[in-house]
Amino acid sequence: MRQCLLLFVYGFWLSCPAWAQTNPSAGKASPVKVSGGLNAYAGFYTASGIAARNQLSPFGLSGSVTVALPGGISLPFSAVLGNQGSSFRQPFNQFGVSPTYKWATVHAGYRNVSFSPFTLAGHTFLGGGVELNPGKLRLGAVYGRFNKAISTNLAEPDIVPAYGRTGYAVKVGYGKPANYVDLIMLRAKDDSASIVSAPQSVSQTVTPAENLVVGLTTRLLIVKHVTVELDGAVSAYTRDVRSSLVSAEGSNPVTRFFGRLITPRLATQLTQATQAAIGYRVQNAGIKLQYKRIDPNFQTMGAYYFQSDIESYAIAPNLTLMDGKLRLSGSYGIQYDNLANNKSARTGRKIGSLVVSYNPATAFGIDVQLSNYGISQQAGFRPLIDTIRLAQNNLSATINTRYTLQKEDVLQVFTLTTTYQKLSDLNATTASQTENNNINLNLGYFYQQTTTGWGFNGMLSYTQTQLPIAIGDTNRTVRFFGPTLGATQSFFEKKLTTSANASYLVNQQSGITGKVMTISINGGYQVTKRQTLNVSLNYLNSNTGLQEQTFNELRGNLGYGISF
């Protein structure tokens, strides 16, 4: 137990990422204030029919502390510590803080900051930075390690090696949060000497890279009711800094400036990404036109992933009628790839959606959602064979109705949700192997007494799926159906709250009937104003219809929490 407490205290101060915020109304300096809480839990787990999927006696500690400093600076910390067998572990080892005071924010430690979608866009780094917003001036700068060097070895051949990477990003802008223009630049580079070797293979190629990205992001109110959004960036990405140099022609100031930041090489590729939108909005209606283009292989070291090689157009109108009782919104767009015309086929997509919400009274409402997603291919630099041409359409429709009865101390809600989904293959050669449809129905009832704390809920669900013939069985229909019941009750002037839930799901497929039953019981007691006790018990019985796949699980947990 002493070891547990020591590890918890250590992890409490050195673990999770932290953030900060400021109280703008803070005036003169106030004393340092500390607040937070501590939670402890212990439980048991048993299983039969399968290997254990949890520790037999799980236990752990978790806590959080917020330190309020003079000047309105708030520093929150948190930590979690649990057991794994007979050892202890510290699952979080990244620490960071971003204290804010008035118009200044300082970043230190492990942080993720976003300047724009195509430059610095939430990539975690270890380092420091600052964001300053005095008046309408918008300034920002960060510097740190974007990737940790990882070497592979014979003992751990599955480890993917990575070079150590450092970088920085700066932002200069003007405006307010909803009406601004920002210029951003990001530069990052791998250290080719940070790992001993990076073995190459057909499926894995690791080379030291370098990246320079210059971007623009803006949100502008051009005239009344008209807004413009623009995010753009140009990325010079060198995939191997060891490749041969390329002479850069030109002597204008722009060429000379960026030539000092990145060295052109044979492995350097210049790509761009742009997304823009223009919208018009009045009191009861609006419309937005959207455009996006991302070049093939566009990359920035300030983000983890981009879907590149796409160009899309979309229109999204919305309308409100009948004094707000009827609302309609929708969108329609097209998207395609193969922008460089270097693929054997071009894939196009058409996406349409419609949402209708009708609420004629407080007691009744209905929502309808429709979407239609189509995908097709056209020949690129090679002709397409009809037997493998991709041409599919995915239709989805959802209707959700609700009816509410409310008295002084009783609330009743009835719900009915219906969902239909169908995948149609327009290629007759492959249709039998891909086409499927799905129907789902959910009928629900909710009852709550506000004064006594008594409540009841129930749901009856039914799902039917038609699988493609390629599954290998002439009986393509799969069904899932069953009820779910729950109840809540409060005692001792609502100091003790209890709840119980149970579900019984039947599934039928290929002439085999399976059953899954779950039961859970929960209770919580408010010992004092700042102390709580909670207990839970969960049981699972799964019977797929096959003896070797039948199993049972039982979990229990007892927890204690205190706040200060």
The answer on pLDDT for 13 being more than 50 is no
Q: Which residue has the higher pLDDT, 344 or 2?
A: 344
Give me the half-sphere count of Cα atoms (radius 13 Å) on the Cβ side of residue 460.
4
Q: Which residue has the higher pLDDT, 218 or 1?
A: 218
Interatomic CA distance for residues 128 and 178, integer angstroms: 26
Interatomic CA distance for residues 343 and 384, integer angstroms: 11
Interatomic CA distance for residues 170 and 274, integer angstroms: 20
Does residue 217 contact residue 116 with C-beta atoms inside 8 Å? yes
The answer on pLDDT for 5 being more than 50 is no
- pLDDT at residue number 432: 73
The percentage of residues in the chain with a pLDDT greater than 70, rounded to a whole number, is 83
Q: What is the mean pLDDT of residues 112-123?
A: 93
Confidence of residue 184 (pLDDT cuts 50, 70, 90): very high
Specify burial of residue 13 (Cβ count, 10 A radius: 0-12, 13-18, 19+).
exposed
- Domains contained in the chain, CATH given: 1-102 (no CATH), 110-197+205-276 (no CATH), 390-564 (2.40.160.10)
DSSP-based three-state secondary structure for 8: helix
The answer on pLDDT for 260 being more than 90 is no
Q: Which of 204-208, 510-514, 544-548 has the highest mean pLDDT?
A: 510-514
pLDDT digits (tens, 9 = 90+) for 272-310: 999 999 999 998 999 999 999 999 999 999 998 888 999
pLDDT digits (tens, 9 = 90+) for 64-104: 788 777 655 666 676 777 774 433 333 345 667 788 888 99
Confidence of residue 197 (pLDDT cuts 50, 70, 90): low
Strand partners, 238: 210, 268
Confidence of residue 373 (pLDDT cuts 50, 70, 90): confident
Distances (CA, A) of 515 to 219, 483, 505, 555: 54, 12, 6, 20
- pLDDT at residue number 33: 86
The answer on pLDDT for 8 being more than 50 is no
Q: What is the mean pLDDT of residues 521-543?
A: 94
Interatomic CA distance for residues 71 and 495, integer angstroms: 38
Record the pTM.
0.74
The answer on pLDDT for 6 being more than 80 is no
Q: What is the mean pLDDT of residues 470-499?
A: 84
